[in-house]
Amino acid sequence: MSATIPRLELRAIRKHYSGTIANDDIDLVVHPGEIHAVLGENGAGKSTLMKIIYGVVAPDAGELFWDGQPVRIHSPAQARRLGIGMVFQHFSLFESLSVAENIALALPDAPRPAALAGRIRRVSADYGLALEPMQPVHELSVGERQRVELVRCLLQSPRLLILDEPTSVLTPQAVEALFVTLRRLAREGVSLLYISHKLEEIRRLCDQATVLRNGRVRAHCRPAEESAVSLARLMIGGELPATRLTPNALPRTPRLVLDRLSRTADGPFGTPLRELELCVHSGEIVGIAGASGNGQKELLEALFGEVALADAAMLQLAGEDIGRLGPAARRARGLGMVPEERLGRAAVPARSLADNTLLTAAGHGLVRAGLIRRPAVLRFARALIEGFQVRCKGAQAPANSLSGGNLQKFIVGRELAQHPQALVIAQPTWGVDVASAALIHEQLLRLRNDGVALLVISEDLDELFGLCDRIAVLAGGRLSPVRETGATDAAELGQWMGGGFGPVTAAAASGMRDVHA
């Protein structure tokens, strides 16, 4: 077959949902061995287009060509038979099954899960995506679940690989290893469609880019010839909002304190927490970096009150021991919480945005004498939609009808609107476009400048360096020393993510001793 024949070609693809046009006459050409980026804001139509290619949804109009031949892709199974693999941003895993069982479901004539385990371990090791094949998926963090999706796809030996935010939960070293692998696949003739909001990654990795805005193709470019700023400008059709960490003159007092916080692991594959020491002061943002599976899930459960700690003093809020209080009691005392899992944890998928405000904000005038004040709920939801620029069909739109970034803006807005004393937020801009990420960062910085203490748990080092006053790393259930952001770099934190920080003194870990002295 001639190399000039496109691997995939889309002509005038159109898709609409209930009057909303998701894709409007989209043309796209991807050649063998090409790494092609698809860029756009949340809601621009990227995910719909990828689902059409993968057979999840059918286009209303337009044509698809595979290796120069017209084709209709009716299902993901048919797409996989053609040689198309896809790693979704929102995962498609069965939580009650093991890693190996989930992967086996996607492989034709797959061996029994026990026999497949060896292949999974080899591929996981090759790509730096550590997995335990026999571990149940419900025990995995978000980052570990993404690893399952990646490995499952790689085991299918695809000819076209669609990657949706593949590096959002990888360490810098793992990102570099993945890029080596993707470039190798491209040299072997595999085509890649790459969706990411990390524009420097796009510039380094991708040969071509197609930019979508409001469901239409707005530009084609060669990313290496653009800057991150110019790519962002193409995506949003204007200048990117600027956010900047500035000195905060407010007096700092201990607000959220972890005092030798320890807990056992969740099941045989979990990570126990070992005497974590940390003090987050009023008016500062502290970031915790680290690869998924190093205790983030266990830490979030301990902070949110999903598990009671052995000693109430292990977690303190504004001087009060709260380690044995439940989530509602912690919220009542001023602790805001944003989990990493949006659908099913931070929001009920099938319920409206208005109904979802009641999950955490019911005590803010939305319920009185046990009765829901529906007009107040609608006003609250509409204010969040407007204030956080949430693209949706209104307060009655189901949560699962929103793109990931727009739902995240709504969830963050819901917590910020309650004026917490301290806020714990996990993966604040995972899968969020650059404009939405800038808006979320701006709101978090405003909260910090108003004297709130913020603890940000993220696997995006660029985000942490741009947002935080101080940074630590969680590795193997241990917390590294806490560094001023300007006193460390990605190389040091990357080394620490592998546990290379040795014994940690309490003072170095928490910054508490100078405050209490």
Model pLDDT for residues 247-294, shown as the tens digit of each residue: 777 788 999 999 999 999 877 778 999 999 999 999 999 999 987 788
pLDDT > 70 fraction of the chain, expressed in percent and rounded: 93
Strand partners, 317: 256, 320
Residue carrying the six token digits 């929102």:
90
What pLDDT is recorded for position 90?
64
What is the per-residue pLDDT across 169-184, written as a single tens digit (0 to 9) for each? 666 767 787 888 889 8
More confident residue, 20 or 322: 322
What pLDDT is recorded for position 509?
56
pTM of the model: 0.75
Q: Inter-axis angle of helices 113-127 and 142-154, to 10 degrees?
A: 100
- Class at the top of the CATH hierarchy for domain 8-236: alpha beta
Taken as a whole, the chain contains a residue count of 517
Tokens of 295: 């205790």
What pLDDT is recorded for position 170?
66
Q: How confident is the model at residue 61 (pLDDT cuts 50, 70, 90)?
A: very high
Strand partners, 424: 337, 455
21 pLDDT higher than 80: yes
Identical topology for domains 8-236 and 242-334+420-517: yes
Q: What's the CA dihedral at 148, 150, 154, 158 to 10 degrees?
A: 130
Residue 286 near residue 252 (C-beta atoms within 8 A): no
Residue carrying the six token digits 């803006």:
409
Tokens of 463: 């985000």
What pLDDT is recorded for position 479?
95
Q: How far is CA 375 from the centre of its chain?
A: 33
What pLDDT is recorded for position 511?
53
Q: Can you spell out the DSSP letters for 230-278?
A: HHHHHHHTSPPPP-------S---EEEEEEEEEE--SSTTS--EEEEEE
The mean per-residue pLDDT over the stretch 383-389 comes to 93
Mean pLDDT, the chain, integer:
89
Q: How confident is the model at residue 320 (pLDDT cuts 50, 70, 90)?
A: very high
For residue 133, count other CB atoms closer than 10 A to its CB: 22
Burial class of residue 502 (count of CB atoms within 10 Å of its CB; 0-12, 13-18, 19+): exposed
Report d(CA 202, CA 38) in Å as an integer. Answer: 9
Residue 287 host element (H or E):
strand 285-289
Q: Inter-axis angle of helices 404-416 and 434-449, to 10 degrees?
A: 10
**Helix, strand, or coil here: 156?**
coil
- CATH number for the region 242-334+420-517 comes to 3.40.50.300
What pLDDT is recorded for position 106?
82
What is the per-residue pLDDT across 442-462, written as a single tens digit (0 to 9) for each? 999 999 999 999 999 998 888
Domain boundaries of the chain, sorted by first residue: 8-236, 242-334+420-517, 347-417
Tokens of 215: 């469901």
What is the per-residue pLDDT across 64-95, written as a single tens digit (0 to 9) for each? 999 999 999 999 999 999 999 998 766 778 98
For residue 322, count other CB atoms closer than 10 A to its CB: 22
Handedness of CA 28, 31, 32, 36 (dihedral sign): negative
Residue 179 host element (H or E):
helix 172-187
Strand partners, 49: none
Tokens of 285: 């943002």
Q: How confident is the model at residue 138 (pLDDT cuts 50, 70, 90)?
A: confident
Residue 254 near residue 436 (C-beta atoms within 8 A): no
Residue 509 host element (H or E):
helix 506-510
Tokens of 51: 């689902």
Report d(CA 403, CA 350) in Å as an integer. Answer: 14
Residue 277 host element (H or E):
strand 273-281
What is the per-residue pLDDT across 473-517, written as a single tens digit (0 to 9) for each? 999 999 999 999 999 998 888 888 877 786 665 555 555 434 333
Report d(CA 126, CA 122) in Å as an integer. Answer: 6
Strands of the sheet with 35-39, listed across from one edge:
84-87, 160-164, 191-195, 35-39, 208-213, 216-221
What pLDDT is recorded for position 351?
95
Report d(CA 12, CA 379) in Å as an integer. Answer: 40
Identify which of 73, 63, 69 has the alpha carbon closest to the alpha carbon of residue 6: 69
For residue 350, count other CB atoms closer than 10 A to its CB: 11
